[in-house]
Each structure stands twice: as structure tokens, then as C-alpha cells.
Amino acid sequence: MEFNNKFTEITTGVTDFILAIFAVFVIIQLYKEVRLNRWKISLWCFVLGLISIAALLGAVVHTFELSDTTRQLLWKPINFSLGLAVALTGLGGIYDYWGEKVATKSLAVAIGLGVSFFLVTLFVDKGFVVFVLYQAVVMLGVFIIYLMLAVRKQLPGAGIIALAVSVNIIAALVQQSHLSLTIIVPLDHNGLFHIIQMVAIGLLGWGLKIGIKRNTTFIKNEGAILSN
């Protein structure tokens, strides 16, 4: 298998690979707290796992010279993973705003939404444009949810998660631009998107850990007070 003859495609592939590894690292850090909230941690680990899969396949698509058939074949699981990850991110917002009961009831709807997006990409030529619009609507909703939780001080770490979502939105805007920079190596808009997305994922993991740890501590302390 030969490398892509365009160097920025190779650097994009490398950043995609690093993104996949970084997402797995954040999964490992989050899963250490699974005993504190199995449902929530499992959901977000699944989201990051889907992102990692998409990034790993994206690394192959960008790094190597592939036939059109192979490239189109690889884009199918990438679209499926990303579509489902976006839908489950929305479910994460529902969990934190309305609670586990509502989130559990909404799980099938979220999965259906992700699958529906994937099916649309099979029949629409400009599938990536559809993804951008789909992602923008869901992410805006998630941003509003966590911003409200932060302003109301209802969830520790909500402000950091809102920041993570806003950084992810900025990453998506960069990906739609023609921006390119040289940071040791030349990076096009896709490579820059991956780097900014890593920042977003790092912030997300940080915000989630704060919320889970502090909420668990609060519940334990409240229980101790009621028992005395």
C-alpha cells in the first residue's frame, strides 16, 4: 500500500491517528470512575469509542493511496460511527438535564437518529454537508443544555463541558474553511480540525470527571446527614 502523494493528506492522517489514540486515553481515564455512575460513564465512553473508530479509519483514508471503491467503502463505517456519536452526545445532554430515566427512554430514539443519518448519507451525494448540518443542530442543543446547567450551578463541570462543545463547534467551522498552517509540518483544514477536536475531547473528559466525582461526593454527604 502506497502513501498518499499529497503531504498534507499524510499529516491529516497522522493527526487522525493521534486523535484516535487520545480518545482511547480519555476513555481509560473516564472508565476508572465507572463505579460512580456506570450508565453515564458507559455512554460517554461509547461516544468516544465511536470517535476513535472513525478517526482510525479516517487515518487510513487520508494516509494511503486507495481506489475510489475502497475509499467509499471506508467512508460508510466512518459516517455510521460519527452519526451515532453525535446522537449519543445529545443523549448525554439529556441525561444531565432530565435524568437517567428520561435518557434511558430516549436511548432508542438517539440510536434511531444516528442510524437515520447514516442511511441519508447512502442516498445523498453531499453526505458530508448533511453531517455538518446535523452535527451543528445537535451540538448547539447540547451547548445550550450545559450552559444552562453551568449558569444555574446544577452540575459541577458543566461549564467545562459547554466549553468543550463550543471548541468542537469551532473545530467544525475550521474543517469547513480553507485554513492551513505550518506547525512543524504543514496542516490543512482537516489536520487543524483534528488538533482542535483533541482539545475539545480533553475538556469533555475533564468536565465529566469533575461532575461525576463531585455529584457522588454530594450524594454521599447528603445521605450521611439524613442518616444522623
In a domain, 30, yes or no: yes
Rounded to an integer, the average pLDDT of 137-164 is 97
> What span, in angstroms and rounded, lies between the C-alpha atoms of 71 and 52?
18
In a domain, 228, yes or no: no
In a domain, 227, yes or no: no
Worst-scoring range by mean pLDDT, 56-60, 97-101, 116-120, 196-200? 116-120
* Domain harbouring 22, CATH code: 1.20.1070
pTM beyond 0.75: yes
Quote the Cα angle for 146-148-152, to 5°. 120
> What span, in angstroms and rounded, lies between the C-alpha atoms of 65 and 7?
12
Q: For the segment 23-33, what is each residue's pLDDT rounded down to a tens digit?
A: 999 999 999 99
Q: How far from 155 is each of 145, 193, 220, 221, CA to CA, in Å?
A: 11, 29, 16, 16
In a domain, 100, yes or no: yes
In a domain, 24, yes or no: yes
In a domain, 26, yes or no: yes
> What span, in angstroms and rounded, lies between the C-alpha atoms of 123 and 108?
23
pLDDT band at 127 (very low <50, low <70, confident <90, very high): low
Range 84-116 burial, b when 16+ CB lie within 10 A, else e: bbbbbbbbbbbbbbeeeeebeebbeebeebbee
- Domain range for residue 195? 7-222
Domain count, the chain: 1
> What span, in angstroms and rounded, lies between the C-alpha atoms of 153 and 143?
15
**Structural Rg of the chain based on CA atoms:** 19
In a domain, 1, yes or no: no
